[in-house]
Amino acid sequence: MSLRIHGTPFSSPYRTVAMTAEILRVKYELVKVNPLKGDALKPDFLAINPQHNIPVMEHGKFTLNESRAIVGYLATEFDKSRKLYPNDTSIHAKINQRLYFDSNVFYKRICR
């Protein structure tokens, strides 16, 4: 099943997904989308992601946006050793806490 990631290398959320895929040695096709040029508002992209944000992942017929959700999906789907996203609920919760730190703490303080 092919994996496609829509995004652009200058996007931090895309790079987070790309680094996770690299760590897991998951091959994917990068479909370049430049929101600064209006690519995310084109009809073909909106058909994939009506929220028009990047990155977006397509894995077969499954589509997912939001970098943290994609990272969790990649870790669950491709890391059979469960090293990145362990089955232990408390460890899993701590990982999620760290994944969301920037949006809930870091950026709120910087943007004041």
**Could you tell me the two tokens for 72?**
């969790």
What is the C-alpha separation between 99 and 78, in angstroms, rounded?
Answer: 18
Please name the residue that has the structure tokens 């994939």: 48
Which of 2, 11, 67, 90 is labelled catalytic? 11
**Residue 67 annotated as catalytic:** no
At residue 41's C-alpha, the angle toward residues 32 and 19, to 5°, is 30
Q: Which residue type occupies 105?
A: V
Positions annotated as catalytic residues are 11
